């Protein structure tokens, strides 16, 4: 990790500073907390999830933000503009967010990415910035962040890999006994794969039967055509995907997500120091 206040430098395998943040969903499983706000604006240890995500991304030297919104899109847009007025941000609205899923939302980001690669985030994931640092400094052009130390059930996106950590499958439907672990919803997509990914999503979404597909369904179609995706092992680093009340409570219990008061305490003990 770099010295405090210094951004991390993206690795040579990362040729773009673009990020795509998917924030269209309703968050129905955590109601009533999402009745009056978007799930990504819920506070974890006092800081909204989306603010944490943006600050973590900025700390890693990524500067171009693409937000795909839907539910309470005006609220999310206002939050970003008010909290980060200088942010280089593009906002796209999935007007069909109620009857589509993440695959459809990701498809809508195609024009905004401008043919470049990007890092893709699910907006409801709270994560240690070391996860992102590990991902962008990895040598693989296309990579999924995977946690091996997870109890795998029906709701988790499970990942099967070969001996070289090349992804063979990524789906909720996978037998947990065959999976390496869970994909946490943060991926690096290189420019070549991005072009193929959006082309595949375009084809998929012409059929309304695919509108409820997750973006991993498109990954699997590319994998079947020998496009290489690799697993980036982030086991041991803190992260929580907030789908339920239990997830929300768990995120708020993690010490690594709580504010670091040590700097304030140190300043307060210095001669003549005053708290700001």
Q: In this predicted structure, what is the pLDDT of residue 268?
A: 38
> Is residue 272 one of the residues assigned to a domain?
no
**268 in helix, strand or coil?**
helix
Q: How confident is the model at residue 15 (pLDDT cuts 50, 70, 90)?
A: low
* Residue 33 contacts residue 248 (beta carbons within 8 Å): yes
Q: What's the mean pLDDT in 56-69?
A: 95
Lowest mean pLDDT of 24-38, 113-127, 192-206, 248-262, name the range. 248-262
> Is residue 275 one of the residues assigned to a domain?
no
Q: What's the mean pLDDT in 108-120?
A: 95
Q: What's the mean pLDDT in 171-193?
A: 90
Supply 257's token pair: 């997500």
257 vs 275 pLDDT, higher one:
257
Q: How confident is the model at residue 194 (pLDDT cuts 50, 70, 90)?
A: very high
Q: In this predicted structure, what is the pLDDT of residue 75?
A: 97
* Residue 123 contacts residue 49 (beta carbons within 8 Å): yes
What does pLDDT average to over the chain?
Answer: 87
> Is residue 228 one of the residues assigned to a domain?
yes
> Is residue 219 one of the residues assigned to a domain?
yes
Q: What's the mean pLDDT in 124-153?
A: 91
Tell me how far the alpha carbon of residue 148 is from its chain's centroid: 18
* Residue 60 contacts residue 135 (beta carbons within 8 Å): no
Q: Which of 62, 80, 48, 49 lies closest to 20, judged by CA?
A: 62
Q: How confident is the model at residue 13 (pLDDT cuts 50, 70, 90)?
A: low
> Is residue 9 one of the residues assigned to a domain?
no
Domain span at residue 247 reads: 18-258
The whole-model pTM stands at: 0.87
Strand blocks (E) in the chain: 18-23, 43-44, 47-48, 64-69, 88-93, 118-122, 125-127, 143-147, 158-161, 167-171, 181-189, 230-233, 239-241
Asked whether the predicted pLDDT for residue 141 surpasses 80, the reply is yes
The CATH number of whichever domain residue 57 belongs to comes to 3.90.550.10
Q: In this predicted structure, what is the pLDDT of residue 92?
A: 97
Q: In this predicted structure, what is the pLDDT of residue 214?
A: 94
The crossing angle, in degrees rounded to 10, of helices 191-204 and 215-224 is 110
Supply 40's token pair: 């990504």
> Is residue 40 one of the residues assigned to a domain?
yes
Evaluated on CA atoms 137, 119, 252, 101, the torsion sign reads negative
Cα–Cα–Cα angle for 231, 48, 172, rounded to 5 degrees:
35
- What is the tally of structural domains in the chain? 1
């Amino acid at each position: 990790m770099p010295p405090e206040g210094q951004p991390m430098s993206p690795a040579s395998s990362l040729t773009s500073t673009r990020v795509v943040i998917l924030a269209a969903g309703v968050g129905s499983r955590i109601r009533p907390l999402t009745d009056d706000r978007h799930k990504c604006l819920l506070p974890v240890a006092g800081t909204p999830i989306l603010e944490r995500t943006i600050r973590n991304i900025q700390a890693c030297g990524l500067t171009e933000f693409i937000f795909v919104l839907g539910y309470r899109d005006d609220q999310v847009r206002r939050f970003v503009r008010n909290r980060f007025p200088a942010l280089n941000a593009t906002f796209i609205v999935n007007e069909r967010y109620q009857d589509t899923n993440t695959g459809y939302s990701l498809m809508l980001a195609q024009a905004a990415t401008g043919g470049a690669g990007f890092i893709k985030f699910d907006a409801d994931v709270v994560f240690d910035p070391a996860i992102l640092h590990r991902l962008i400094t990895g040598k693989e052009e296309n990579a999924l962040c995977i946690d091996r130390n997870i109890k795998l059930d029906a709701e988790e996106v499970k990942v099967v890999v070969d001996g070289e950590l090349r992804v063979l499958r990524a789906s909720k439907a996978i037998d947990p006994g065959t999976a390496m672990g869970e994909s946490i919803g943060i991926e690096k997509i290189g420019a070549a794969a991005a072009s193929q990914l959006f082309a595949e999503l375009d084809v998929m979404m012409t059929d309304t039967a695919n509108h409820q597909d997750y973006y991993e369904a498109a990954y699997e179609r590319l994998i079947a055509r020998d496009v290489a995706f690799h697993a980036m092992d982030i086991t041991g680093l803190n992260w929580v995907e907030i789908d339920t009340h239990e997830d929300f409570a768990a995120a708020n219990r993690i010490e690594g997500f709580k504010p670091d008061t040590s700097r304030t305490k140190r300043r307060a003990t210095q001669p003549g120091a005053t708290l700001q």
